[in-house]
Amino acid sequence: MSDQGTPNAAGRTAGESRVSAKPTPKGAWTITFLLFLFMVVNFADKIVVGLAGVPIMTDLKLSPEQFGLLGSSFFFLFSIAAIVVGFIVNKVPTRWVLLALAVIWALAQFPMVGTVSFTTLLICRIVLGAGEGPAFSVAAHAIYKWFPDEKRTLPTAILSQGSAFGVILAVPALNWIIVNHSWHYAFGALGIVGLLWVCAWLALGREGPLEDTQVLAETEQKIPYLQLLTSRTFIGCVAATFGAYWALSLGLTWFTPFIVKGLGFSQSQAGWISILPWVFGATIVILTGWISQVMMARGYNTRVARGVLGSVPLAIGGLILAMMPHVQGAGLQIALLVVGSGLCGAIYVVCPPMLGEFTPTSQRGAILAIYGALYTLAGIIAPAVMGATIQRAGSTLDGYMTGFTINAVIMVGSGLLGLLLLWPNTEKARLRRGVAAQAAALKGAVSPT
């Protein structure tokens, strides 16, 4: 199946085993750390509604369906904003785009500090979602200007870990504010943290020196967007990450309410339990990034070192999650939920670098953004489906279990689609041949006879 030489039994090719590493520019890891913090703030903003779910539902007298709508509302403009900004960063420096996004996040939090209606909360979450929609794709595009292709998996893993650490660091602090003061002040604290990141980025943020997107836009040979978007690896990345994001969006919105209302823990206990999936997920993501780069350094092709490595844990996680309704005891159910949903994090590490393999640099921002816009549609659907399922179930716990079973089926299916479709190394060769053939045909058409 490979177009880059004949692979051996270990998934290596002769060409790929002789990749020469390019140097990493000075300051690359400083930027990586700042963008890691960017994603920490991003996911702290996301988790606060789920963490404060029970107090919000109690104060605003919301039904499960209404709370599910609140969770979904964050994603109403998420995808649209991601696509629009993705095309913008093809031409505009990422430094200023990232700054603008962080300012929007901070300002969207402050209206919740005072008395707030359900409508106001809904609108603020929609605005916040519009600001956060492009976050990961723009941050990944920015990091790739600092690292050559063969060194991108580990920085991508670190960037992805902003999500886990955003929850791990934010949950105890925010839950303390919620329990001892009010859920309103938790939103205000996040607004202040967002403004602190803005100040740090203004002082230290820079554009990567390896790629000048504006120059490349004028000189680089492009591939038609239709070919990029219909490539099997692009479709496979969207399908696989859709299943992972279904689990993630349920974790953001419904995990803490499940612990409190489904299993009977207190809000204080639930705050600490809510950290567990993210701690486990962080371990999986860092291991995936490290293993992937080690495999590539040893000559494995990216079909194996990225595609297979990301898809298999996703399918296994779904199978583990499917066991939840069939076991007894809150501890065991939590353990299955933590491990099952945590394993899906591997796919976030490998898909952006796979897309970056075959996408021209001047088009990469848009492709990463469209990819993000499509898979995060799961964020609109999953919380609403869970809310409707709980409301129509015979008991609250039965509703949760049915919702997690739906999640399990989607994870297994998306993992299998990833295994079937993710072939970035052959995609790169095929698309390059197509561009070369088109260039040759055009040259022949204009040559004098």
Contact (Cβ atoms closer than 8 angstroms) between residue 301 and residue 13: yes
Inside any domain, residue 228: yes
Total structural domains in the chain? 1
> pLDDT tens for residues 315-342?
999 999 999 999 999 999 999 999 999 9
pLDDT above 50: residue 188: yes
Per-residue pLDDT at 195 exceeds 50? yes
The pLDDT tens digits of the residues spanning 66-113 come to 888 888 888 888 888 988 998 888 888 899 999 999 999 999 999 988
Angle at 284 between CA 283 and CA 285, to 5 degrees: 95
- Per-residue tokens: 259: 């612990």
Whether residue 10 is contained in a domain is answered as no
* Residues of the domain holding 130: 31-446
Q: Is residue 441 assigned to a domain? A: yes
Comparing 124-128, 286-290, 326-330, 386-390, which segment has the lowest mean pLDDT? 286-290
Which phi-psi region, left, alpha or beta, contains residue 447 (left: φ > 0; alpha: ψ -120 to 50)? Answer: beta
Answer yes or no: is 22 within a domain: no
171 inside domain: yes
pTM of the model: 0.74
- pLDDT per residue over 341-356, tens digit each? 999 989 988 999 899 8
In the chain, the N- to C-terminal Cα span, in Å, equals 39
Q: How far apart, in Å, are the Cα atoms of 48 and each of 77, 134, 298?
A: 19, 19, 42
419: exposed, middle or buried (Cβ count in 10 Å: 0-12, 13-18, 19+): middle
Coil vs helix vs strand at 12: strand
Predicted local confidence at residue 215, as pLDDT? 55
pLDDT at 447 > cutoff 50: yes
Alpha-carbon gap, residue 419 to 310, rounded angstroms: 9
**Category of 194 on φ-ψ map: left (φ > 0), alpha (ψ -120 to 50) or beta:** alpha
297: its two tokens: 């350094």
Q: In this structure, what CATH number is given to the domain that contains residue 202?
A: 1.20.1250.20
Distance of CA 414 to the CA centre of its chain: 15
Q: Residue 305: exposed, middle, or buried by beta-carbon count in 10 A (0-12, 13-18, 19+)?
A: buried
What pLDDT sits at residue 148? 83
- Say if 96 falls within a structural domain: yes
Asked if residue 138 belongs to a domain, the reply is yes
266 conformational bin, left if phi > 0, alpha if psi -120 to 50, beta if neither: beta
- Enumerate the H helices of 89-182 as residue ranges: 94-109, 118-132, 135-143, 153-180
CB neighbour list of residue 427: distance below 8 Å, 6 or more residues apart: 231, 232, 233, 357, 358
Distance CA 239, CA 231 (A): 12
Q: Is residue 21 part of a domain?
A: no
Higher pLDDT, 24 or 256: 256
